[in-house]
Amino acid sequence: MDIHTQRNNGTLIVKVESRRIDSSNARSFHANLEDAIQDDDTGLVLNFSNVSYISSAGMRVILSVLKVLQKKEAKFAICDMKDSVREVFNISGFDKIVNIRDSQDDALTVCAA
C-alpha cells in the first residue's frame, strides 16, 4: 500500500494514498507504517482523507501501531476521516482510544501537546 510521509517538529505525518484498508493490503500497510516510524518520532498523524473503506483487518493494524506508540510514549491522532470510516471506529469503540480530528492541523496540535 502506498503511503506518503513527512515530518513536522518530531511528528510523523502519514497520508494513506489507498482508498481502502482491508484484508488484502492490511499487512503491507502495517509493514510500511512500521518502516516509517522512527525511534525519535514523538507523534504520529494518520491522514485518512483518501480512505473510504476500512475493515477489521485495518482496525487491527491501527490497534497494533497504537500499542507500539504508547509504549514509547508517542502521541497519535487520525484526521480527515470520512463518515463511513468514522462509524466503524465508533462501533468498534476505537473513538475512545484514538484522537480523531477534522483537520491535519488539529491533529498536529494533539501530537504537539
Give pairs for 2-7: CB < 8 Å, separation 24+. 3/29, 3/32, 3/33, 3/36, 5/36, 7/41
**Under the criterion CB under 8 A, does residue 50 sit at the interface with another protein?**
no
**Under the criterion CB under 8 A, does residue 36 sit at the interface with another protein?**
no
CA gap 93, 7 in Å, rounded: 29
Residues found in the chain: 113
**Under the criterion CB under 8 A, does residue 63 sit at the interface with another protein?**
yes
**Under the criterion CB under 8 A, does residue 31 sit at the interface with another protein?**
no
Site for another protein in 73-92 (CB under 8 A): 84, 88, 91-92
**Under the criterion CB under 8 A, does residue 59 sit at the interface with another protein?**
yes
**One-character DSSP codes across 24-59:** TTHHHHHHHHHHH--TT--EEEEE-TT--EE-HHHH
**Under the criterion CB under 8 A, does residue 70 sit at the interface with another protein?**
yes
**Under the criterion CB under 8 A, does residue 96 sit at the interface with another protein?**
yes
The residue ranges that bind another protein (CB under 8 A) are 22-24, 52-53, 55-57, 59-60, 63, 66-67, 70, 84, 88, 91-93, 96-97
